Structure formats: C-alpha cells, structure tokens
Structure 1
C-alpha cells in the first residue's frame, strides 16, 4: 500500500478549521459531576476522542484512527468524523477518507464556512487520488472481495468500487474453491477494469439420497467410487447423476422399503434389496454449488422386452430407454410400455413387476395399411396389361403423328403442282406416296386410340374386389376422311 504523508502545516490548517483546539474540544470534564448531566456514552466518546487527538499530534495515525472510531461508536460528532477522515488520508486510504467526508457532509450539511472550505479542498484532492474498480471475467456470485487483504464486499457489486490509486492486490474468495488473485494498477479519476481468471475452473456438486441411504454415485454414466452423501468439484456444464447399490439388512430395517406391501418389509430386509434412482440432469456452474437430492427405489425386479421387428424404440412410463431388445431393472409395481417403429402401428402395453421375478415380453407390431395408388397398380397383373396397352397406344400415336405430318406435306406439294386437281403424269408417284402415308397415319391413329382405350379399361374396369373406381371412360367417336390431296381427322371424347 502506498502511504502519502501530508505536510504538518496542512494538518494544522485542518485542525484550526475544525476548531478542535478551542475550549469546547479540549475542555476538561467538570469536576463537579453532580451538577452536570453527562451520559456514559458521551463520557466514553470524549475520552476516546482526547486519546485520539493525542495520538494524532504525535503522528500516530493508526492508533488515532482507532480511538476516533471508538468515539464515534459512542456518539457521532463532527470533530471526530473530521479527524477520522484526516487519519485515513494520512494512511493512504483515500477512498475511505473520501467516504468519511461524504458521510460527514450528510450528517452535518451546514458546516461552518471555514470548515466547509477545508473539507471541499480535501475532497477535491482526494477525488484525484481515487479511481473506481469494475470486476469482469470469473466473478462468482457470493464470493468475498478483498483489496490489499481488506474486505470490500460480496460479489456481485451493485456499483463500481472506489479504490485508492496505486498497485492493488485483488483477491476473490469463496468457500470450497481455490481463490482468484491478481494485481491491478489503479489510476485516479477513471474507471479501472480487473478481469478475473480462475486457475481452477470448477464448480461444486452436492449429492444426497432422500432416505439417507449410502448408495453408489454415477456421474455421466461412470461410477465415481463414492457413496451418498457426497460433495466434490466438477467441470462446469450439465451432468447426469444416478444412484444405485445393494442395501443390507441394517439399512432396510431402519426405513420403509419403497413399493413393499404390508408384511413384506421384514422379508425384504432379511434378504436385502437392490436400489436405484432415476437419472437426474444438473447444471454445475463455475464457482457455484449445485445440489441434487435423489430418491432410490427397490429395483429387485427385471424386465426383458423383445419386439417384431427388432430395433424398435422403447419408452417406459413416458421415458425413452433405448431400442429392442432391451433388458433392465425397474421399480416394483405397474409400468406402461410403448413400442414404436417406422412403418408400423405404435403399440402400448401395461406390465406389473414383482419382487425378484423377471418378466419377458415380446411385442409384435402391425404394419401401417397403405393405399397402392395409381403408380403402385402397375406392379400388379392388371398393371402389366394396362402398361402393354398404353405402350402399343403410344407407339400407334407416334406413327400417326409422323405419317400424318409427312402426308400433309406431300398433299400440300400436290395441291400446288396440280391446279384444279389436274396432275401431270410425273406426279403419279407422289400421289401414291401421299395415299400410302395417309393410310399409315390412319392405321397408327386406330392402333393408338385402341391402345389408350384398352389400357384405361383395364385399369378402371378390371379392379380388385372392394377397390373404389376413380376413373370413368366415355364413348369415343372417330371420323377420318382421305382424299387425293389431303387427310382429315375428327373425333369426340
């Protein structure tokens, strides 16, 4: 700690300003106490004040501060507060000195002019010798903050902390954890940030069993080798906790056995019982204590579950436990099983477990009914026939389209070369070709139409029993005309 000694002339001015050298401050108590009513607190306050002044005059500021504080403990006076502030200033505790002056002004808002001027000057000087400190980083709630080994409050701080300028040792302590320590150079008149970094980044977990049974502890699925009750350090984050173990006669006779019927307790105690709790998830925070209380139950009953198909998801009492086949221990009594698999109807079943008996259960799932639909129908015999008919129809319509286009083009050429349908002999071959293309197009159209109609009739008319008809066919009429110069097609659907 840096201690700045102020000149004695400044102290003398302060003392004169307070009027501490006057008769009121230094007057001896009257010898005739019967004539003056002086309370015990007032007499003690005056005695400590006088001893404090004597220490102050000898520049024994630590001793003087102790006496002035004792005096204030008996009776609050302006003079004792002023002297205490001056001692703190001489000891280098500028932040405390400034707070002492502020308290003095609150309690005595109308100071004498000379005293007010001296207090204002001192406070202005102290403001430059004090900075504020803000803690960031690993600042655990509820921890004690010490500055230069002096307790300054509990975290989190409700406002920035005033700290005297200079190099300050900052330490954060919390029971059950390693302290966090650092140094910070505090500069006056500004905010100073201390970023705390814990060397051991741990949280603390406390585990107990509701019946005070000593059961083995599993954390994150691994045995710890410890029994309840237990408390220890863990990495921050979420952890799963479970209790399990076998209780002997003494433990069971001292407490009720969960799930036991009247008259079964002594028999269970005579043989002992296997106990297990559910899995509990707990969030462990840095430098904080998390606590979990688990209730174990008698697990001396086992269940084995198979399913058809295998690999189905299994839920017991609303909790996912894994895939089938599954085997495990459960509390005595009734349980509800739910088995699910993709493409199958979900199955629910109730089962009752008895002490020291294993139940084996096989659940057969029914497939979800499916509508074959239009495209699935092509995988049936009916679909094969419809596919063949539609294929022939598409081929015929293709021939019709190609031949028809060629016939139309050839007829257009003949019409241009043969006005009034009078064609020269050299055009006879072209006329025959146009006629042949027209016949081919007509044949393709007939085959295509017949294929489409046949395929539709097979899909619609020839349906399995109970299947609903979704498609209706209408009468199809075709009209085709063929002349030496062209081909005409018409129809209705």
Structure 2
C-alpha cells in the first residue's frame, strides 16, 4: 500500500503482530506427547508422537523462529509444509498472518475464512482477532471479472500466480492495486492486460487477443488418407489440423481409395491418385477463439456419374434435398438411390428417383410444363365478365324498349281499330296512325337489339370460358322472350 492508507496498514500490522504472536504462542502445537518413559503426574499417559507429527512440529517451530525475525516469506514456506503434514489451527493462523505481512491480502482473507470453516469454535480471544483481521482485509481487496476474449479452459494468472481456469465460477478476489493479468492456453499467444484493482469494487479485465484464431482438426471416420478441402481450397490430408480464423468454415474430404483397400476395409497410409472416388458431405465447422473444433467426416464411394439436362435450360437442380447447381449438370454421386428435383420459374417442378450403379453413367432429361398464367387468366375472366355484362345489358335494354313500345303500339292499334271500321280511317286519325307505326318500328328494333345482345352475351360466355372446348360439351342454353321480360337459362 502507498500513501496515508499504506502507513495506516503498516501501523495496524505492527500493533497486531505482537498480539498474534502472544495469542498463538499461548497455544501448543497440537497434543504433545511426553518423552518416552515419563508421564505428567496429573494426566493419563499419551500415545507416542508419530513421525509425521514430529516433523510437522519441527516445521512449525522453524516457522515461528522465522516469524519472530520478521522473515515472513521463509516462515510461510515452512508453515505450509507443517500444515500439509498435520492440519492445525495455529499453523493456519500463522500462515494468514504471514500472507498479510507480505501484502497478499486476498490470500490472507481466504486463509482466515478456511480457518473458520475448519475450526468454527475458535477460542474467544483468537476469534476476536480473526474477526478484526477479516474486517480490515475486506477493505484491502477488490473483485476481478474477465470480459472480452476470455477463452474457455485457459489458465488465468494474476501477478504471475495461477488463479484458476476460465471461465471463473465467480468473481476473483485480489488485492487492491495495479495487477498484471495474463491468460494462457497451449498453442496460442498469451493475452495480457494490466488492471487497476479498486478495493471494495468489482473490477473488469477487458481481454483483447492478439490473434483471432482457433484450432480446427479434421479426421475421416474410416481413417482414410484423403484431401481436406477448407472453404473451397485443399489445405492438406487427413488427419489434418491447423489454425484458422474464428467463424464458420465449410469442410469436406475427397480423393481416391484403391479398390483392394476398399474391399478389404484396410486404412491406407498414403494418398491414392486413382481407384474408387470417395467424397464426404460438406460440413460447417464453427471455430471459436482459442478453442479446438473437431470435425469427423465419413467419405462415401462416388464411382457413378449422373448427367441431368432440362427444358428449359438453366433450371435449378436439387439432389437429395440439396442444391447442386443449374442444368445442364454432370457430376459423381454415391452409389444407390437418389431423389432428383428440377425447378424453374414459371414451370411446374418435376421430381423423380434414380438408381445409380457402379461405373455407369446415368443420363436424365427432364421437360418441365409451364405453369398457368394466373394473371392472364384473371384478366381474361374480368374481360369476359365485362363483355357478357355489356352484351346482356344491351339485350335487356333492347327488350325493355320492345316491351314498352310494343305495348304502346298495341294500344294505339286497338284504338284505331275501333275508330276505323273496315280499316278505313278518316284524315283526322292520320297522326295516330303515324304514332302507332313509329311505336311498332321502335318495338321491332328493341326486339332485334335485345335478341342480338342476348345472343352476343351467350356467345361470349361460351367461347371465352376457360377450357370451354372441353367443358362446354355438355353446355345448354334456353331463352324465353315475352312482352313483360326476357329470361335466359343455362347449364355449363
């Protein structure tokens, strides 16, 4: 510690150090046995001290001697040897005190906490001093969390001391001050960062890797030696491994296998340049920072070829639900059954199954049928509806004129028949005769127009109906005309 806070800490250490020595010195190291042949006058005989206990006691006493001389690093080493041989609360207390004197406040705090867990019922005097030290140490440490490029499984070092492996299950407690953080993982460059740890605060170490790579390992499941294709480029032969950029990569294996090895199920040790062609599927490998990604691919024999042509050309070709290209297409596939699907815009897709045999080329020609032009059909239907409507509308209007004018003309004719005996009309009825003739002409014209409109509407309906040539074979139309209206009945 530096500044005023450092002076206060050192002052506290000097005040409590003597108290710790006195407190721990009052307690013997474990249960000590009396020398052989002697017993305490007021106690029962004790078992002889084991060699381990004797060695632990010797280390403990050596540690106390170093501690009294303020040789805390030497004392810490021998106290730890003693604790390894025999667990003892006094030894743990001395270790915590040594760590505190050495400025390793986080370790000292953890040692006190472990001491409490092992010995939950400490003597009152010791418990009071432990509680006081824990309270002080808690104000001298902060917590540290890793962020950014923190690869899983990497070793975490703080000030060159191993503090665990990533990811940490909880924030790491470290002494306040400037701390050197380093992350190491075999096969990769270390990641280093300096962090100013604030006491009583959560501090973040934002790690930034010097490289953005991960290991990719590719094997063939039969242990065949085949070419490894990474993102469209051959990079070596199986088994293969290499550093690649973080992210997704396309991987496959391909090559040849000697027929003798294929039949005998032997794994070749060298790359074959001829024989049965074998290829694996294309796999997607997700490589993460400073991690190893393994891909195992199974190559299949592709000693059969297929050529696919289509009408129209340039159709999309799918084989076994995977897109392989555009027609015309030719390539090698595994032996056996495959589902071929050809599709093109504006055409009905075609699908069929083919069986491929060894060393035989299969040729497939596919002719696609055009899809109905739904837009044109909708437009034609709309035009048909309009045409039929107009034709029938004209017909209805004409028949309406016929009905009205015909009725009026009949009324005029009846009147003239009464006024003109023997069809001889006086000159005074000439005007009525002309009106009757005009109404008759109008009625005739209306009847003709109505008939033509009805005929035209029916003709348009029949001739422009989709599939009319086939569907209209059973069609029939009947019409009825009268003075009061016009009716059309039909079956299509």
Report the equivalent of 2:22: 16
What aligned pairs does 1:323-338 form with structure 2 within 5 A after superposition? 323-338=326-341
Go from structure 1 to structure 2 and tell me whether the alpha carbon gap of 1:375 and 1:28 turns closer, same or farther (over 3 Å shift). closer
1:274 to 266, 269, 277: 277
1:423-434 matched pairs, under 5 angstroms: none
Contact preservation (8 Å) 1:210, 1:294: yes
Q: Structure 2 residue aligned with 1:154, among 140, 150, 165?
A: 165
> Where does residue 233 of structure 1 map in the other structure?
243
1:198 matched to 2:209: yes
Name the Cα RMSD after superposition: 4.1
Could you give the per-residue CA deviations for residues 252-303 of structure 1, whole angstroms, max 9, x where no partner exists?
5873599xxxxxxxxxx99623221111122222222211101112223221
Counterpart of 1:453 in structure 2 is: 454
Normalised TM-score (structure 2): 0.76
CA–CA separation in structure 1 for the residues paired with 2:438 and 2:84: 127
Deviations 1:94-148 (A, max 9, x none): 0110111111112222222222221111111101101111222222222211111
- Name the CA distance, whole Å, in 1 between partners of 2:438 and 2:72: 128
CA contact (8 A) 1:390 1:455 kept: no
Counterpart among 477, 480, 484 of residue 475 in structure 1: 480
Alignment of 1:55-74 (within 5 A): 55-74=66-85
Kept in 1: contact 2:276–2:303 (CA 8 A) = yes
Q: Does 1:317 align with 2:320?
A: yes
| Displacement after TM superposition at 1:228 (Å) | 1.1
Post-superposition offset of 1:345: 5.0
The structure-2 alpha-carbon separation of the partners of 1:50 and 1:436, relative to structure 1 and needing over 3 Å to count, comes to farther
Query: Is 1:81 aligned to 2:86, yes or no?
Result: no
Question: Which residue number in structure 2 is paired with residue 288 of structure 1?
Answer: 291
Distance verdict in 2 for CA 1:437–1:195, change over 3 Å: farther
* 1:314-362 Cα deviation digits (max 9, x unpaired): 222332222211111112333332333443252313122322x333222
Spell out the pairing of 1:236-251 with structure 2 (5 A cutoff): 236-247=246-257
Mapped to 1, the partners of 2:437 and 2:188 lie a distance apart of 104
Q: Residues 457 and 473 of structure 1 are in contact (CA less than 8 Å); yes or no, is this contact kept in structure 2? A: no
1:364 aligns with 2:367: yes
Distance change in 2, residues 1:475/1:142 (3 Å): farther
| Match runs of 1:432-451 below 5 Å | 449-451=450-452
1:304 aligns with 2:307: yes
Partners of 2:399 and 2:486 within 8 A in 1: no
Greater CA deviation, 436-445 or 246-255?
436-445
1:100 and 1:451, CA in 2 relative to 1: closer, same or farther beyond 3 A?
A: farther
- 1:418 matched residue in structure 2: none
Structure-2 separation of matches of 1:281 and 1:40: 62
Q: Tell me how many residue pairs correspond in the alignment.
A: 436
In the superposition, the TM-score normalised over structure 1's length comes to 0.76
Residues 98-247 of structure 1: pairs in structure 2 closer than 5 A: 98-224=109-235, 226-247=236-257
Q: Unpaired runs of 5+ in structure 1?
A: 259-268, 404-433, 480-489
Tell me if the contact between 2:157 and 2:181 (Cα under 8 Å) persists in the aligned partners: yes
2:130 is paired with a residue of what secondary structure? Answer: helix
Q: Is the 8 A contact 1:398 1:444 kept in 2?
A: no
C-alpha displacement of 1:443: 8.2
In structure 2, distance between residues paired with 1:270 and 1:292: 24
CA 1:374–1:110 in 2, change beyond 3 Å: closer, same or farther? closer
